[in-house]
């Protein structure tokens, strides 16, 4: 970091870098969880007759009108 003064010492910069790495790992992990959940929801939707027919209950189904 020659030529630029940040006002932070080396230890503080190392701590910031460590926090950034931790945040990146958490974000990656959360992305994996979201991806897996999306796959599960997609499969459930494919298997659900309500989703395939366009939605949940409807009065004509319930009351036979």
pLDDT by residue, tens only, the chain of 65 residues: 455 677 889 999 999 999 999 999 999 999 999 999 999 999 999 988 775 555 555 555 555 55
CA distance 4 to 48: 61
What DSSP character marks residue 5? -
Give yes or no for a contact between 64 and 58, defined as CB atoms under 8 angstroms apart: no
The pLDDT value recorded for residue 57 is: 54
The pLDDT value recorded for residue 49 is: 73
The pLDDT value recorded for residue 1 is: 47
Give yes or no for a contact between 50 and 56, defined as CB atoms under 8 angstroms apart: yes
């Amino acid at each position: 970091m020659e030529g630029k003064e940040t006002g932070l010492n080396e230890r503080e910069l190392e701590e910031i870098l460590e926090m950034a790495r931790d945040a990146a790992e958490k974000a990656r992990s959360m992305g994996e969880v979201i991806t897996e959940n999306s796959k599960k929801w997609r499969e459930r939707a494919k298997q659900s007759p309500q989703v395939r027919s366009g939605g949940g209950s409807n009065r004509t189904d319930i009351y036979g009108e």
